[in-house]
Structure 1
Amino acid sequence: MEYNVEEISPVKRKITVEVPAEEVNAALTTTIALYRMQADVKGFRKGKVPSSVVESKYRKQVYSEATTDLINYQINEIMSGLSMQPMSRIDVDAKELERDTDFKYAIEFEVAPKLDLPEYRGLSVEEVKAEVTEAEIAEVEGRILENNAEVKVIEDVRPPKDGEVATVTFGAYQGDKVVEGIQAENFDLLLGQGQSLPEFEELVKTLTTGESGETEITFPSDFINENLAGQTVTMKCKLHAVKERITPEMNDQVAKKAGFSDVETMRKGIEESYMNQRKQMNKSAAQSQLLSQLIEGIKDFPLPPAMVEDRIDRLVQDLEYKLDRQGKGLQSLGKSLKEIRDGFKAEAESTVKSEIFLLAVAAEEGLDISPEEIEATLTQLAMQTRQPLHELKKYYEDNNLIVPLKDRLLCDKASELIYDAAEVKEIDPPAAGSKPASAEKNEADEGEGRFASKAEAVEWAVANLGIKESTAKGYSLAKLEERAEKFYAEQGE
């Protein structure tokens, strides 16, 4: 076998391969031998069928498999020899093998561009110092107390107020028919927390115990049920009881219910959880600054088109999955698929640039990922997703996800190397009410914190805080990040 590598562009290669007739015949002979072992031909014992008979009877399958096996074997051999990692699918231009005839074929694929790496050691970066205030700890304590509040029926016959619980039976009607999914009996509604549409809460707050009422309500355009979005219904409601929430005093018993041994341990746990999250978040922000600074300094940075398209595919799939969990589809966005993909292009290009750069640094530094590190990462993923490790490993292997996982871990190592070699200057957190320039940029770019975008933060808030989507959308991304921090601090995570 002889081959020639042609550089079609900085990110595309074409390899032309020439195979002499002797290798062609050897490939055919090997495949025929495999068929002979299993061939069932009348008049011959299994394994004793002449090669000529096998070749004649199974010619189409034999020549097709021999061609595929030969090309796959030679591609692996060529790639290993060139130390080349395709960043796209390998396109093969080949006919079928012919006995006693030289064979020629070509393959094309995309590769990462060769970068003139800038100096990535010894850079300067500012990192916000992680701090936790007493007010933040107190607020988490308040949430814990609220979760442990007792509910007591109010004997006075009067309309309920914000902060109280109204036990109601309700239904949304279109004509004489109740709307499926918008009805409940003896439902406890905490008023004033944005758990339902404002118009419905206003109706409830006009009723006294035992009284019924109704009002017309128009669902918001972003309502979770697309069939009802923008629709007007008649909401009928009966108030059964008004209850007050009695919040206990903070004590060791309450702390134990929250998973801590006592109040002091709980407060330390909350503080440590906040500190750990903030340290990691601030470190990640500093790493992102370093990476952006380095990439912006590279003038010539061609990107493999297939790699960008693959990242766009993933972003669209993630969006589709998130919308599906909300009972929606891509059509709910009011955009064509092309518009959605175009909207993700800049993000995909940025992600691809970061990956290519960090992999180049990893190669320059001779970094590697051991099988033990792959195993440890999969074990951690299995624990987080509560899947059996062997099933998760099989899924990764069957779907060719081991190499992307290894690349991700290499990128993480390279990012850590750049950070560890940098001069990190700690700066004080911004004063309350103010916002550093980096935070403003992050908010404009949909955030660099716990959530990749505001849409993701809204989805999280709906699922974990029990608030309506329309309410969550009214919060800024920074506020949703803050709510998430408090939530996980309360959980001790």
Structure 2
Amino acid sequence: MDYKVEELSSVKRKVNVQVPIEEVNAAIAATVALYRKDADIKGFRKGKVPSSIIEGRFKKQIYNEATTDLINLHINEILNEMKLVPLSRIDVDAKELVKGQEFNYSFSFEVAPEFELPEYKGLEVEEEEVEVNKEEVEAVIQRLRERLAEFIIVEEDRHPKEGDAVVIDFEAYKDGEPIEGVKAENFQMTLGEGGALPEFEEIVMGLKPGQSGEGEVQLPEDFINKELAGQKVLMKVTLHNIKEKKLPDIDDELAQKAGGYDSIEKLREAIEKSYVATRKELTKSVAQKKLLDELKAKVDFELPESMVKSHIDQKIAELRDKLERQGKSFDSLGKSMEELEKEFRPEAEEIVKSQIFLLAVAQKEELTVKPEELDAQLQKIAYATGQDFATLKNFYEQNNLMIALKDKVLADKAMELIYENAKIKLVPPVKDEEGEEPSKESESEE
């Protein structure tokens, strides 16, 4: 086997492979031998069927497998000799082996661009000091109260109002016929929180427990059912009962329910500690971005299009999922796929440039990733998405996602190394016009 490498660009390679007749025939014969070993054909003992019969009986499968196996063998050998690790999927342009004929094919892939790293140690960067914001702590406690609130059935004979929870049955009709899928029984919702269309809530608020009513509701243009989007439907509603929200007092009992704390003071301490840790991660992340942006501005290199396209596709998939969870259709955006790709491209390009730069640092520093570190990263993903760890790991392995995960961990390690070697200057938090620190909702609720 001989091969020649074409440098199509600074990040793309094409390898043209020439396979002599002898190697072609040997590859076919080897695959025939494998089939012959296990073939069970009437009139012959297992393993004793003539090769000519095996080849005639299973010719399509044999030639297909022989071609695939030979190409895979060559690709591994060639990449090892070239000492290259493809960043993209390997695209193969090949026909099928023909006995007694020379075999020519090519494969192409993208590689990381080569560039000179600037000095990335000892850089100066400002980072905001972390101060406890008492209002943020109290806001967390209020969210805990909301989460632990009880809904008490209202005995008073009255109409529901905003803030009340209601238990209802409802069904939608179009041209006198019920609409499939737009129906529920004993459905509980809270009024005034934007969870339902205003016209629908007006129908509910016009009822008392035990009463039924109806009214026209115009569905939004981005309604998930495209056939009904923007149309008026008749909603029939029955109100079963009204519930008022009762918030728990801010006391030791709340602390116990919220996380097993002995007192409300202990709960506040835990929230403050979590708040500080969260803010520290945020200010650190901002400082790291400043460092990385400064470094990226000093280099220029071609970006592998496959990596950019992969991130664009991911952003579009995330957008589609978000819309569907909101009950909206993807078409409701009113944008073509080309427009969306153009919109997400700048962000995708920045992500790819960051990753390539950090991977170059990781390579220079000889950073490595242990299997347990990959497992730890998968555990975090599984926890965040509510998936089973073993199932998620198998998915990553079966879909060739482990390399991308490893690269992410390496990039994170490289960023941490740059940050640890930087000269950090702590500065007071930025205040708004009223002298308050900009409110950033704490993600941690004990």
Q: CA deviation at 1:148?
A: 4.1
Structure 1 CA distance for aligned equivalents of residues 435 and 298 of structure 2:
27
- Distance of aligned partners of 1:122 and 1:62 in 2 relative to their CA distance in 1, 3 Å threshold: same
Q: Please say which of residues 388-397 and 49-58 is displaced more in the overlay.
A: 49-58
2:223–2:328 contact (8 Å) kept in structure 1: no
1:11–1:110 contact (8 Å) kept in structure 2: yes
1:14–1:107 contact (8 Å) kept in structure 2: yes
Structure 2 CA distance for aligned equivalents of residues 55 and 12 of structure 1:
39
Please list the CA deviations of residues 32-74 of structure 1 after superposition, one character each: whole Å capped at 9, or x if unmatched. Answer: 2212202334443111234444345544443332222112111
- Asked if residue 369 in structure 1 is aligned to residue 324 in structure 2, the reply is no
Structure 1 CA distance for aligned equivalents of residues 392 and 339 of structure 2:
34
Structure 2 CA distance for aligned equivalents of residues 66 and 80 of structure 1:
21
Structure 1 CA distance for aligned equivalents of residues 382 and 368 of structure 2:
23
The SS at the match of 1:489 is coil
- 2:259 counterpart letter in structure 1: G
Which residue of structure 2 lines up, in the alignment, with residue 276 of structure 1? 277
Which residue of structure 2 lines up, in the alignment, with residue 322 of structure 1? 322
Q: CA deviation at 1:93?
A: 3.3
Which residue of structure 1 lines up, in the alignment, with residue 310 of structure 2? 310
Which residue of structure 1 lines up, in the alignment, with residue 34 of structure 2? 34
Which residue of structure 2 lines up, in the alignment, with residue 84 of structure 1? 84
- Distance of aligned partners of 1:249 and 1:383 in 2 relative to their CA distance in 1, 3 Å threshold: closer
Structure 1 CA distance for aligned equivalents of residues 73 and 95 of structure 2:
16
- 2:118 counterpart letter in structure 1: P
Which residue of structure 2 lines up, in the alignment, with residue 119 of structure 1? 119
Q: Please say which of residues 378-387 and 132-141 is displaced more in the overlay.
A: 378-387
The SS at the match of 2:259 is coil
- Distance of aligned partners of 1:150 and 1:45 in 2 relative to their CA distance in 1, 3 Å threshold: closer
Please list the CA deviations of residues 426-460 of structure 1 after superposition, one character each: whole Å capped at 9, or x if unmatched. Answer: 22222245799xx9xxxxxxxxxxxxxxxxxxxxx
Please list the CA deviations of residues 321-345 of structure 1 after superposition, one character each: whole Å capped at 9, or x if unmatched. Answer: 2223233332121122222222222
The SS at the match of 2:352 is helix
| TM-score using structure 2 length | 0.84
Structure 1 CA distance for aligned equivalents of residues 81 and 345 of structure 2:
34
The SS at the match of 1:118 is coil
Which residue of structure 1 lines up, in the alignment, with residue 68 of structure 2? 68
Q: CA deviation at 1:11?
A: 1.5
Q: Please say which of residues 396-405 and 191-200 is displaced more in the overlay.
A: 191-200
Identity %: 50
Structure 1 CA distance for aligned equivalents of residues 49 and 62 of structure 2:
15
- 1:378 counterpart letter in structure 2: L
Structure 1 CA distance for aligned equivalents of residues 21 and 304 of structure 2:
36
Q: CA deviation at 1:347?
A: 1.9
Structure 1 CA distance for aligned equivalents of residues 255 and 395 of structure 2:
41
Which residue of structure 2 lines up, in the alignment, with residue 265 of structure 1? 266
- Asked if residue 423 in structure 1 is aligned to residue 423 in structure 2, the reply is yes
- Distance of aligned partners of 1:81 and 1:158 in 2 relative to their CA distance in 1, 3 Å threshold: same
1:113–1:302 contact (8 Å) kept in structure 2: yes
- 2:89 counterpart letter in structure 1: R
Structure 1 CA distance for aligned equivalents of residues 278 and 221 of structure 2:
35
Which residue of structure 2 lines up, in the alignment, with residue 297 of structure 1? 298
- 2:311 counterpart letter in structure 1: R
2:224–2:329 contact (8 Å) kept in structure 1: no
1:226–1:328 contact (8 Å) kept in structure 2: no
Structure 2 CA distance for aligned equivalents of residues 374 and 62 of structure 1:
38
- 1:360 counterpart letter in structure 2: A
Which residue of structure 2 lines up, in the alignment, with residue 489 of structure 1? 444
- Asked if residue 105 in structure 1 is aligned to residue 105 in structure 2, the reply is yes
Which residue of structure 2 lines up, in the alignment, with residue 11 of structure 1? 11
- 1:116 counterpart letter in structure 2: E
Please list the CA deviations of residues 104-132 of structure 1 after superposition, one character each: whole Å capped at 9, or x if unmatched. Answer: 43222222211222222222222222333
Extract unaligned runs of 5+ from structure 1. Answer: 440-477
1:118–1:294 contact (8 Å) kept in structure 2: yes
- Distance of aligned partners of 1:89 and 1:209 in 2 relative to their CA distance in 1, 3 Å threshold: closer
The SS at the match of 1:249 is coil
2:221–2:332 contact (8 Å) kept in structure 1: no
Please list the CA deviations of residues 147-181 of structure 1 after superposition, one character each: whole Å capped at 9, or x if unmatched. Answer: 44455566766666555556777666667667666
1:88–1:307 contact (8 Å) kept in structure 2: yes
Q: CA deviation at 1:4?
A: 2.4
- Distance of aligned partners of 1:27 and 1:271 in 2 relative to their CA distance in 1, 3 Å threshold: same
Within a 5 Å distance, the mapping from 1:48-63 to structure 2 comes to 48-63=48-63
Q: Would you say how many aligned residue pairs link Structure 1 and Structure 2?
A: 445
Structure 2 CA distance for aligned equivalents of residues 245 and 142 of structure 1:
13
Within a 5 Å distance, the mapping from 1:35-434 to structure 2 comes to 35-99=35-99, 102-151=102-151, 162-163=162-163, 190-198=190-198, 218-222=218-222, 229-232=229-232, 244-262=244-262, 263-299=264-300, 301-432=301-432
Structure 1 CA distance for aligned equivalents of residues 210 and 102 of structure 2:
92
The SS at the match of 2:250 is coil
| TM-score using structure 1 length | 0.77
Structure 1 CA distance for aligned equivalents of residues 131 and 99 of structure 2:
75
- Distance of aligned partners of 1:230 and 1:269 in 2 relative to their CA distance in 1, 3 Å threshold: farther
The SS at the match of 1:14 is strand
Structure 2 CA distance for aligned equivalents of residues 237 and 44 of structure 1:
75
Q: CA deviation at 1:79?
A: 0.8
1:137–1:270 contact (8 Å) kept in structure 2: yes
The SS at the match of 2:444 is helix
- Distance of aligned partners of 1:161 and 1:13 in 2 relative to their CA distance in 1, 3 Å threshold: closer
Structure 2 CA distance for aligned equivalents of residues 66 and 383 of structure 1:
43
- Distance of aligned partners of 1:266 and 1:229 in 2 relative to their CA distance in 1, 3 Å threshold: farther
- Distance of aligned partners of 1:68 and 1:201 in 2 relative to their CA distance in 1, 3 Å threshold: closer
- Distance of aligned partners of 1:257 and 1:99 in 2 relative to their CA distance in 1, 3 Å threshold: same
Q: RMSD value over aligned CA atoms?
A: 3.6
Which residue of structure 2 lines up, in the alignment, with residue 469 of structure 1? none
